[in-house]
Structure 1
């Protein structure tokens, strides 16, 4: 039995100064790094996700409702899509990129990026990201669930941004996939005023909190 930490969307656009900033995002980035320094030996694997939008359709809007549509953010290959500099990547084993062509909140919608892909998202010359950006042929795609199962992971701990969207979606999908799931509340940052409702929904769905 293995245990994994899933770090959700700790990216520049979701931290202070970004196009869709979440209050406390940068502090969470630093806190996750400190947590990993102290607790990395408690995890067999560490995975991180990135919103990695190419053309996500109605997910982007000039007049967003901040529920189903949002300002442009985490465009593939841009600085906004890079992991926040305060997030130490030393212990991260794999990166999963999600939302290339549609909205994607859960880490379980992400695809494994190639080992030589840089987590800071440098775009190759010539325009749109290609296979090296985790958007290769479908038959080569590896999802998070497949990756976790291949490493015999049974329990996951979820941290990151945002508590009431991508963290929640990831945690609930992990429960549905059969994992034991814990969210470390102090290592998340949320967007809305209904964070307690999001926490209650996760608890009702079988998620534990630490």
Structure 2
């Protein structure tokens, strides 16, 4: 796969947090979610800019449930919340941290904290609200620097990665999903997300090997 000069490429680590890994089994663990750090770092090496995002949630958010049967199910009141979830990604906890091997947020070129408000739980990193009216600044920041292509990885493939990739693609960037730098929750929902991404014009690589060979 051919890509443009490095100055036109950004790399995005979407919600690559311990909360979505087996390191925090009581939160929202994704199988092998803690293994993506090295590939995300390789991906960043191919780009001029590195962006990241984190979920940042209160344990008192309106969508919090302690009932396992309610996890992932709708029924929460509010315009900016869609499903119930257990407590996760609380600032100051182990789960809030990035997966092993990644830089500190301060070392990224741009970083987003999402879902801070008690009644807001966005999935994509480009907007604070589900209606996609309140920008986080990601799109504008990339446009101002002349970025045309965005390499995307993170957690989880079938939720926040898919939502962020879609938002970036719709904003006019060519998004490339690095399969080796992401993990998902369930085979069925991963397949559905990948199909939707392909239909949206998002491209895929199995790993950075494909881009390094083409460089």
- What's the offset of the Cα at 1:109? 2.2
Is the 8 Å Cα contact of residues 26 and 86 (structure 1) preserved in structure 2? no
Paired residue for 1:12, among 18, 24, 42? 18
1:95 equivalent in structure 2? 111
2:164 equivalent in structure 1? 170
- What's the offset of the Cα at 1:150? 2.2
- RMSD in angstroms over aligned alpha carbons? 2.2
Q: Secondary structure at the match of 1:167?
A: helix
CA offsets 1:13-65 (integer angstroms, 9 cap, x no match): 111121111101111123323x14xx61x31100011001135422x212233
Is the 8 Å Cα contact of residues 56 and 99 (structure 1) preserved in structure 2? no
After the TM superposition, which parts of structure 1 deviate over 3 Å for at least 4 consecutive aligned residues? Answer: 88-91
Q: Distance in 1 between matches of 2:16 and 2:113?
A: 12
Aligned length: 176
Unaligned runs of 5+ in 1: 111-140
Is the 8 Å Cα contact of residues 12 and 82 (structure 1) preserved in structure 2? yes
Q: Distance in 1 between matches of 2:38 and 2:149?
A: 24
Q: Distance in 2 between matches of 1:168 and 1:93?
A: 22
1:201 equivalent in structure 2? 196
Q: Distance in 2 between matches of 1:208 and 1:56?
A: 35
**TM-score of the pair, normalised by structure 2:** 0.74
1:57 equivalent in structure 2? 62
Which range is displaced more, 176-185 or 65-74?
A: 65-74
Q: Distance in 1 between matches of 2:107 and 2:201?
A: 28
Q: Secondary structure at the match of 1:187?
A: strand
CA offsets 1:111-138 (integer angstroms, 9 cap, x no match): xxxxxxxxxxxxxxxxxxxxxxxxxxxx
Q: Distance in 2 between matches of 1:142 and 1:105?
A: 12
1:144 equivalent in structure 2? 138
Unaligned runs of 5+ in 2: 1-6, 74-82, 129-134, 206-215
